[in-house]
Chains A and B, each alone.
Chain A
C-alpha cells in the first residue's frame, strides 16, 4: 500500500522549530524530521517521549558487573587459585580490592557497548542498511519535515506549511517499506 507524504524543506533551524509548533497545533502528524545537525529542543517540540536508553545502560552495567565478578571468581579463585599480593586467602571477598578495577572496567564496557548497539537497533541502523534519507540536501544545509498526508485536506495542509516559511513543498507517494 502506498501512502502520501508531504516533504516540507526549511533552511533554518529556528524557522523549523516554529513550523513544528504550528504543525503540531494543527494536529497534523509529523512522521520524521531530517536535519544536518542535532537541533536543540526539537525532540521536545515534536512531543517525542523521553529516551529510555539510560535505563538499559544501568541494566547493562549491572550485567557487566556480574560478569566481571563471576569471571574473576572463576579465573583467580576456582579454576587456578592465585596468591594475590602475598595474601593466600583464596577467598573472593578478601581479595576483592584487587578485582575492583576489573569490575569497574567491565561495568563500563558492557554499559557503553551494549548501549550503543541498542541505540543502533532502536534507530533501525544495522550493517548494509540502505539509507532512509529522502533528500541528500538534509546532509548539507536543509531541514526536511515529513508530514503524513494520507488523511485530510492536502491543500489546506500545503497552505499551512507554506505560511510556516517552507522553502520547498513536495507531495511524495511512498512505498510502505516498514
Chain B
C-alpha cells in the first residue's frame, strides 16, 4: 500500500493556497467601471497600443468595432450592432466609451476564463486517462495492467473535476459571467437590436437548459463508468475467478462507444461554442487528441515519480518506453488534426471560417505558434529516438513541455473568444493553474493510497510484469 507522504500533501496545499490567492486577486483586480479601464490602459504595459488606439478615436474606433464584428470577438453583447452605418452616427465620445466598455467586458471575463481553462485542462487529463484505461481493458492489453492502479489514481480526479467544471458552466448559465457569448438572451430575441440570426438559428441546440442537461448526462455517464470500473478492479484483487475482469471488459467496451460520441459533443458545447458563429467538423477529434497526450503524459510522470520513490518495482523501462511511444504518437496525431483543421480553412479562405485563425494569428501570435513548437517540434525531436524513450529524465522533460503546450492549446481555444486582445498570462491564469494543479496532485495521490499499487488478480498481470521489448 502507498501512503501519502506529508511532503506531498504540503506541496499540494501550498499550490492550492497560492493559487486561490491568485484567483481571488484576479477577480478583485478586474475593472468594474470604464474609468478604471481607461486608467489601467493608460499605465499598463499591454495597454500601450490600446491607449494609442483610443487616442485617435474617430474612425479608428469605428473600424475597430466592425473588425471585431467580423472576427467574432464577442466579449459583451454591446458590439453586435449591424455594421458601420449605425456606428458612424455615434459621436467621437460615444465610440470611445463603447470601446472602453468592450475592453471592460473582456477584462471582466479574464479571471473567469482563466479559471475555466485551468479547470478544464485538469478535467481533460482525468477524462483522457479514463478513456486510455478503458482502451487497455477493451483491448485486453498485456503490457499495461501493472499501471492500472496509476491510471485509476489519475481518473480519481474525475469526480472532483466534474464538479468544478459543472459549477463553472452553471455560473455562466446563471449569468454570473459572460464568457459564453451565446447565452445572452438578447441575441435570440428578434425584437432586440442585438438579434443575431446565426445564433438564433442554432438556438434549438444551443440553449441553456439543453446545454446543462447534456453536461449533466455526460458527466454522470463518465463518472458512473469510473466508479463501477474502479469498484470491480478493487474487488478483483480478492476474487477467486475472472468474473470482475469480464465485467470490466464489457463495461469498458460500452463506455468507449458512449465516450467517443459524448466527448465530441462535449468539445462543441464546452469549447467550440465560445465562438458560436464558427464551426469545425473535426473539433471533437482535435480536443480528443490533446486530451490523450496530456493523460498519457501524466500517467508516465506519475509512474516515474512513484518508481523514484521505491514503489512499483516491477515497472521496467519497457513500460516507460511504451508510454513514451504513446506520448510521441499522440503528439503527432494531435499535430495531424491541428494541421488538417488549419490547412482546409486556410486553403478555402471562407470568411466565416477563417476568422478563427485570423484572430489567433493576429492577436495570439506567440501562444499560437509557440504551442505548435511545444506540442509538435519538441516531442518529435526529443522522443523520436528509441533509446531516449527509456531515459526517465528525457520523458519527464518532454512531458512537462507537452503539458505546458497543451495548456496553451486550451488557452488558445478559449481566450480569443472571451477576452480578445486583452490577454496576458498573469496572476489570474497562473493562480488558477496552480490551484487546480495542487488539487489534482492531492486527489490523485490520495486515490493511490486507497488500493494496492498493483492489481494482483488481473489475468494479464504476469505478462505485464514480465513485459520487455
Contacts and interface: CB of A to CB of B under 8 A. Distances in A.
Interface stretch (B117-125, B142-150, B278-286, B345-353): B345-353
Contacts of A86: 349
B349 A100 contact: no
A38 interface: no
A97 B386 contact: no
B339 interface: yes
B143 to A, nearest CB: 15
Interface string A45-74: 000000000100010000000000000000
B349 A97 contact: no
B339 A85 contact: no
A15 interface: no
B343 interface: yes
B205 interface: no
B343 A100 contact: yes
A101 B342 CA distance: 13
A85 B342 contact: no
Interface residues of A, number: 10
Interface in B338-397: 339, 342-343, 346-349, 384-386
Contact of A98 (B343, B385, B386): B343
A100 B347 CA distance: 12
A154 to B, nearest CB: 37
Contact of A85 (B349, B385, B386): B349
A87 interface: yes
Nearest to A55: B385
A120 B339 CA distance: 35
A138 to B, nearest CB: 27
Interface string A68-92: 0000000000000000111100000
Contact of B343 (A54, A58, A87, A97): A97
Contacts of A84: 347
Contacts of B342: 97
A4 B346 CA distance: 69
Contact of B347 (A54, A58, A97): A97
Contact of A100 (B339, B384, B386): B339
Contacts of A54: 385-386
Interface string A85-110: 11100000000011011000000000
A54 B347 CA distance: 35
Contacts of B386: 54
Contacts of B384: 58
A27 B384 CA distance: 37
A54 B386 CA distance: 9
A101 B385 CA distance: 23
A100 B384 CA distance: 20
B206 to A, nearest CB: 31
A87 B346 CA distance: 10
A84 B347 CA distance: 8
Contacts of B343: 97-98, 100-101
A58 B386 CA distance: 12
Contacts of B349: 85-87
B274 to A, nearest CB: 24
Q: Which of A54, A84, A97, A100 has the most CB of B within 10 A?
A: A97
A128 to B, nearest CB: 35
A178 to B, nearest CB: 31
A87 B348 CA distance: 10
Nearest to B468: A41
Contact of B348 (A58, A85, A100): A85
Contacts of A97: 339, 342-343, 346-347
Interface string A159-176: 000000000000000000
A97 B385 CA distance: 27
Contacts of A98: 343, 347
B12 to A, nearest CB: 41
A101 B339 CA distance: 10
A97 B347 CA distance: 8
A86 B343 CA distance: 14
B447 to A, nearest CB: 37
A58 B380 CA distance: 12
A87 B349 CA distance: 9
A97 B342 CA distance: 9
Nearest to B386: A54
A160 to B, nearest CB: 29
A87 B384 CA distance: 35
A86 B346 CA distance: 11
A101 B346 CA distance: 14
Given A97-B339, A97-B347, 7 more contacts: A85-B346, A85-B347, A97-B343, A97-B346, A98-B343, A100-B339, A101-B343
Interface of A: 54, 58, 84-87, 97-98, 100-101
20 contacts: A54-B385, A54-B386, A58-B384, A84-B347, A85-B346, A85-B347, A85-B348, A85-B349, A86-B349, A87-B349, A97-B339, A97-B342, A97-B343, A97-B346, A97-B347, A98-B343, A98-B347, A100-B339, A100-B343, A101-B343
Top 8 nearest A-B pairs (CB, nearest first) are A85-B347, A97-B343, A97-B346, A85-B349, A86-B349, A98-B347, A100-B339, A100-B343
Interface of B: 339, 342-343, 346-349, 384-386
